[in-house]
Structure 1
Amino acid sequence: MPNVRSRVQSVGRGEAPRDAPEAYRSLDGYLREDRARAVLREQDNGQGILEFAGANDGEDPYPLVRERARIFGTVIRVGGTGDRIPVLIESNGVPIFGCHASRDVAKMLAHYLFEPVRLVGKGSWLRDAEGRWNVQRFKIDAFEPIKGTKASEALSELRAVAGEWTEEDYRDLERIRQGPKNNGGD
């Protein structure tokens, strides 16, 4: 109990190890999403140790955004119990908490530990005071490993693909690029 109390108090003072503030922000985000707030109190005397502002954190200029998306990163950890298996991804040196997968997807994803992947699924994002979008939750439906191919090698592979482009191919490409016309297609 003294270790937990000390760690929680260090979050409130802004002196906690890197993972503790991430956990605090995650819980605070869930409270904000649910339009709630909370205070962690001592059991014996009811004294407040740590306050979660949640919905009282000021008006968010952007609401929670939910959409299908892709996340690119390195698999750092896969594991847990239950039907939603937590997955920790690191993207550009920043850990992304809040990702989870079914047992089947997590089992396959575990084979790519410490390797780059593209995750596909549905996520929820909140924009912070600095204007950065942060993942609150991300359900991984599928993934694919990313090859560590250099750009020059990828270009060589593309150039090696045989085929002739016709004028019709270029017109099709231009139609795809421009999109449908007049809301009814072309």
Structure 2
Amino acid sequence: MSFDLVRLWVRSRPMTDGRTYIFHLTPYTPETLSLGRLAEYATALAEVFGHRDSVHLRGIDAGSVKLALKIDDSVVTHIEARLADLATGAGPEGARSAIKRITEFLTLDGGTATLEAANDSAAVLTFPAPKPPLPPVSVTEVGCLDGRVLRLGGSGEKKVTVLLETDIGRITCDLHKSKAKEMAPYLFDWVRVTGVGVWERSPQGKWFPSSFTINTFDPLDDEGLADVLARLRSLGAGWPDSETIQKTLREIRD
């Protein structure tokens, strides 16, 4: 069924009084937007409005993709309030998830969209244009890493490989053989290593060392907070208990 036939058919249907919204997709045309993708947008829009049986497709304008959506008079007030909340980032979780899904479609399709009231040029909801991915960046600088030594070894003449498990993932490092024997007793223990790394930024803006050469390291004590406090109290330093410290930290954050 062509878009023209759909437009004629839906406009011939009797509609109750109410309000009309226009969902405008750019830079699509009825010839370039597949029926499958249109259905995905329409399904997500139904979740945005929330009153599936009271929202009707009134037409699709020729030459562009503008969906005219007629709202039954009985739910206009509810939908206006719902859209106003969504415009501020509030509103039902299902509707916010649907907006996120529409934005993901637009990112994949390279498009933008707005939802407007038919009698008002101001957008009720604006779906932002997808941000271009950040260009890859690589920098070399001194840094330090905290991690658990998972593996230590290799057959290099001057360097061995150290595999660290850190809070940003597993990182493979180089270590001079003269330092390897010193680190060996700390296999499967936590250490803090200092050295020179090549840090690369992902398109999502996260930094990760693609390589890291360890110059020095220090063992870390994985003793828990309660154990540390108990040891300090045994020295007569007058330290409070862990619950008091946790309460104080929460008060500072609040």
Q: Could you state the TM-score of these two structures normalised by the residue count of structure 1? A: 0.49
